[in-house]
Amino acid sequence: MESYAQGETEPALLDQTIGDSFQATAAAYADREALVEVASGRRWTWAELDRDVDALALGLVRAGITKGDRVGMWSPNCAEWTIAQFATAKIGAILVNINPAYRTHELAYALEQSGTRLLLSAEEFKASSYRAMVGEVRDQLPMLEQVVFLDSPEWTDLVAPDPGLTLAQAMDWELSPDDPINIQYTSGTTGYPKGATLSHRNILNNGYFTTELINFTADDRLCIPVPFYHCFGMVMGNLGCTTHGATMVIPAPGFDPEITLRTIAEERCTAVYGVPTMFIAMQNHPTFAEHDLSSLRTGIMAGSICPVEVMKRCIEDMGMTEVSIAYGMTETSPVSCQTRDDDDLDRRTASIGRVHPHLEIKIVDPTTGETVERGQPGELCTRGYSVMLGYWNDPEKTAEAVDADGWMHTGDLAEMREDGYCNIVGRIKDMVIRGGENIYPREIEEFLYQHPDIEDVQVIGVPDQKYGEELCAWVKMRAGAAPLDADAVREFCAGRLSHYKIPRYVMVVEDFPMTVTGKIRKVAMRERTAEQLGLA
């Protein structure tokens, strides 16, 4: 049987703009709690949130922003981020998500490439002065007409109520679900980031179906420690909540494992999101056992390959009996595959699930483009409503990623099982070819997770004169465990893994280089390993 699958077609796709969907939810649940910002103690009912969203939307219109104009948002997680997301959607402005980790060069590139007219920005975060960095690049950006810093007098003026004017009166343009509404810059490992351009239909439906599959209702309270600037936070998180009337809970501006655990307990959250490194940090925190997580029933682990042992601890130690694994990428809004709440333990801990509703997936030979048989590895491709409109102002790169038949080529190596469930075996560029043998690092990582002293592990290929590539394992040790050396790792693997899959090199590290969204930067790991080990 070929590695092809099509998702369910019921319930139907939402044929709304984000603003219309938000308005309907605010009307249906007016007096219920919509948003909680733990750091400040601020809380909003749906009616109050709708009021503040409209105030910002009207302020943007007064500032000259109209349909299709780009409005940048550069800030760690905060209530204003959420308000800006829905205010821009209500007026049809395109929200440009700017990574809070960006510095001047990256900031200037994103603002210029997107043609951002108005920037909403935090004043500072940790040791970073956003105001100073904006000042450094402002003269390079003739398109950037206005910068408004959150909590400044300019912000107060922007959101000041106007009793004589409603948003409906101020807007003399129509919106469509197919309009572009969001630009998200992908964190490429080479070259400049590309601006994935997404529509109302793209992200509204993806947020809706992702949370439909974990049975969200208005009674749910979602702890969102993942960043809003990324699809995980603003789509799966915010839009997942607003399409169901669930409460959005922001534990902190940036991820902190103890604050996240405390927030779940004190706010009685029923769900929590995270990338694997976040769940590892929570599960291994010294105060983990002190927090009452009994309110949890579900959540989503995504953003990176999910270790089986970590997933099992979510179920057994965190009480997330309905936890789901989701797989996707920014260019597909993001989710293409997801496990279901009634899946058995094997499917929910050892796969990325099956195809999402209203989507198609196939696995193809990366060289020939032919669909492979089930059980064979190949490149995962997806097609349907979720595929981006394209990369902003970059038709060439768009054509490289989305073929003439509408298939998005993910660059991920996957296998489809006989039952239609899929598993990621690596990235095409991460696959290691040792002496002609194709090696998928994921398989070795899952094996090494079974070592009692290993907390986390990443496997990469490094240059080797004899075999072309050799394996190196980067290992994080559990607290109190003695560091492992290459001999100890090889002894653990001997007789249990094929000889060519046993890492030749082992590096014990405190952390892995990664993006702000928790994706491991294996390119950086390879460079650092080659330098430290003196490999050509």
Inter-residue contact 288 to 294 (CB < 8 Å): no
- Residue 443, pLDDT score: 83
User: How high does pLDDT run on average in the chain?
Assistant: 94
| Tokens encoding 378 | 């190949």
Return residue ranges of the chain for CATH 3.40.50.12780: 1-17+200-429
Percent share of the chain, pLDDT over 70? 98
Inter-residue contact 297 to 319 (CB < 8 Å): yes
- Residue 209, pLDDT score: 98
Is pLDDT of 289 > 50? Answer: yes
Please report the DSSP string for 454-503 in residue order: EEEEEEEEEEETTTEEEEEEEEEEPTTPPPP-HHHHHHHHTTTS-GGGS-
The span from the CA of 386 to the CA of 138, in Å, is 35
Is pLDDT of 169 > 70? Answer: yes
Q: Which residue has the higher pLDDT, 372 or 163?
A: 372
CATH number of 19-175: 3.40.50.980
- Residue 189, pLDDT score: 42
Mean pLDDT of 384-395: 97
Q: Residue 446 — pLDDT band, cuts 50, 70, 90?
A: confident
- Residue 518, pLDDT score: 66
Inter-residue contact 465 to 455 (CB < 8 Å): no
Q: Residue 373 — pLDDT band, cuts 50, 70, 90?
A: very high
- Residue 439, pLDDT score: 84
| Tokens encoding 85 | 């997301």
- Residue 517, pLDDT score: 58
Mean pLDDT of 166-191: 87
Q: What are the b/e assignments for 469-481, b being 16+ CB within 10 Å?
A: bbbbbbbbbeeee
* Residue 256: Cβ-neighbour burial (10 angstroms; 0-12, 13-18, 19+): middle
Inter-residue contact 194 to 391 (CB < 8 Å): yes
Say which range, 13-27, 284-298, 507-521, has the weakest mean pLDDT. Answer: 507-521
C-alpha torsion sign, points 106, 88, 201, 390 = negative
- Residue 521, pLDDT score: 86
The span from the CA of 186 to the CA of 358, in Å, is 24
Inter-residue contact 34 to 28 (CB < 8 Å): no
Inter-residue contact 393 to 412 (CB < 8 Å): no
- Residue 510, pLDDT score: 93
- Residue 229, pLDDT score: 95
The CA–CA distances, whole Å, from 342 to 186, 297, 347, 348 equal 33, 13, 10, 9
Closest to 94 (Cα-Cα) out of 192, 175, 205 = 175
Say which range, 65-69, 78-82, 107-111, 383-387, has the weakest mean pLDDT. Answer: 107-111
Ramachandran assignment for 443, one of left (phi > 0), alpha (psi -120 to 50 degrees), beta (any other):
alpha
- Residue 536, pLDDT score: 67
Is pLDDT of 358 > 90? Answer: yes
- Residue 42, pLDDT score: 98
492-504, pLDDT tens digit by residue?
A: 998 888 888 999 9
Is pLDDT of 188 > 60? Answer: no
The CATH-assigned architecture of domain 432-533 is 2-Layer Sandwich (3.30)
Query: Which residues lie below 8 Å from residue 20, measured CB to CB, with a gap of 6+?
Result: none
Mean pLDDT of 53-78: 98
Is pLDDT of 191 > 70? Answer: no
Mean pLDDT of 459-468: 88
Locate tokens 């450094």: which residue?
136
CATH number of 1-17+200-429: 3.40.50.12780
The span from the CA of 66 to the CA of 68, in Å, is 6
Q: Residue 276 — pLDDT band, cuts 50, 70, 90?
A: confident
| Tokens encoding 312 | 């099992």
Is pLDDT of 190 > 80? Answer: no
- Residue 242, pLDDT score: 98
Which is it for strands 432-434 and 437-439: parallel, antiparallel or unpaired? antiparallel
Return residue ranges of the chain for CATH 3.40.50.980: 19-175
33-37: long-range pairs with CB below 8 Å, 24+: 33/247, 34/247, 34/248, 35/79, 35/82, 35/247, 35/248, 35/249, 35/250, 36/247, 36/248, 36/249, 36/250, 36/267, 37/78, 37/79, 37/250
- Residue 505, pLDDT score: 95
298-335, pLDDT tens digit by residue?
A: 999 987 767 788 999 999 999 999 999 999 999 999 99
C-alpha torsion sign, points 477, 481, 485, 489 = negative
Q: What is the C-alpha end-to-end distance of the chain, expressed in Å?
A: 43
Query: Which residues lie below 8 Å from residue 339, measured CB to CB, with a gap of 6+?
Result: 324, 325, 326, 347, 348, 351, 352, 353, 354, 421
- How crowded is the C-beta side of 195, counted as CA atoms within 13 Å? 27
Inter-residue contact 526 to 474 (CB < 8 Å): no
- Residue 350, pLDDT score: 82
In one-letter notation, the amino acid at residue 120 is L
201-254, pLDDT tens digit by residue?
A: 999 999 999 999 999 999 999 999 999 999 999 999 999 999 999 999 999 999
370 CB neighbour count, 10 Å cutoff? 10
Mean pLDDT of 447-456: 93
Mean pLDDT of 282-301: 97
Mean pLDDT of 142-164: 95
